[in-house]
Copies of this chain bind each other. A is one copy, B any other.
Amino acid sequence: MPRLFIEQLTTPGQNIEGVFLVAEKDLRTTKKGAFFISAKLRDRTGELPAVMWDATQALFAAIPQGGYALVKGRLGEYGGGFQITIEAMRPAKENEVRLEDFLAVGPGDPQEQLARLKALLDTVQRPALRALMAAVWADEALMRDFTRAPAAEKLHHAYLGGLLEHTLGVVQNADAMLKRYPKLDRDLLLVGAFWHDLGKTRELAYAQSFGYTDAGKLVGHLVQGVIMLDEKIAAVRAAGTDFPEELACVLRHLVLAHHGTHEFGSPKLPMTAEAFTLNHIDNLDAKLHAFFRDVAADGDPVRRWTGFNKMFGGSLYKGLEEPAEEDEKDDDLKGGL
């Protein structure tokens, strides 16, 4: 039986068997003192409340909150909506979970994006930086993370592959600005644009749902990126390539200063032309992505404005619409008043 997604659960009585993410779970007691589990089950397409009667404390403890469970049950109704009645449930095994059933996936082709990214970075000239990038491309574990990670939990590019897509976007912006401002140091801006969010591979968890790792909360992706940079520089040096300390400092600065202000978590303000540029072209790529996403998400075809948007501090204007042929108004309405 092919998996039914939550958006396909529309007929009370449907049989359900499949893996769901247990978004919430709660052990409760009936008035007669029996335990039951109240939960929320989620997949990529939505979320439904669920209830399992005759539960035990042991079962409850075994089900991982924020983790996956194999669920068998039936669709019921409660309180004016649907609810899954769970008949049996156990933690899912790793090979039973298909990540793409649960997490949003970006629109692009990661391998094609990676190839474009490499082509741009391949224009870097300094031997030390070429060695650094070669070490990056050769690190398979890092490449696997880099091509899968989202760029953010929610703010922008919040889907599998989002980090790669956003990084490519910023590197392309860098390339465009380098053509405009030839005094910018091409090597530094390109490598800085590549590295600016690399720490997110360790800041963000995306095995089950998008969230922050301990390292993300305690250290953050800026400093995490510097730590990864230092690891790779150490490897490059260990392999015999000279990597000047000043160059290392300037790269660290690019990563640390890319949020632009202390207020947004940068421990250093941009004090190189490339760091200043990186702050702007990163912000532009992230915010335009979010702008167009939020405008597209607003379903109302009549209103020219979205609702209040927290990131931008107001309603977003959806854009000028060209005058179209006026639809014929249908005056002949039911009810004939």
Contacts and interface: CB of A to CB of B under 8 A. Distances in A.
A177 interface: yes
Interface in A249-299: 249-250, 252-253, 256, 262-273, 276-277, 280-281, 283-284, 287-288, 291-292, 295
Interface of A: 54-56, 58-59, 61-62, 65, 70, 72, 87-90, 169, 172-173, 176-177, 179-181, 183-185, 188, 214-215, 217-220, 222-223, 226-227, 230, 244-247, 249-250, 252-253, 256, 262-273, 276-277, 280-281, 283-284, 287-288, 291-292, 295, 300, 302, 304-305, 312-317, 319-320, 323, 329-331, 333-337
A247 B315 contact: no
A257 to B, nearest CB: 8
Contacts of A89: 333, 335, 337
B173 A292 contact: no
B180 A172 contact: yes
Contacts of A87: 335
A268 B220 contact: yes
Given A89-B337, A277-B288, 12 more contacts: A62-B333, A72-B337, A88-B337, A90-B333, A183-B292, A218-B252, A218-B271, A219-B249, A219-B252, A226-B226, A230-B230, A273-B319
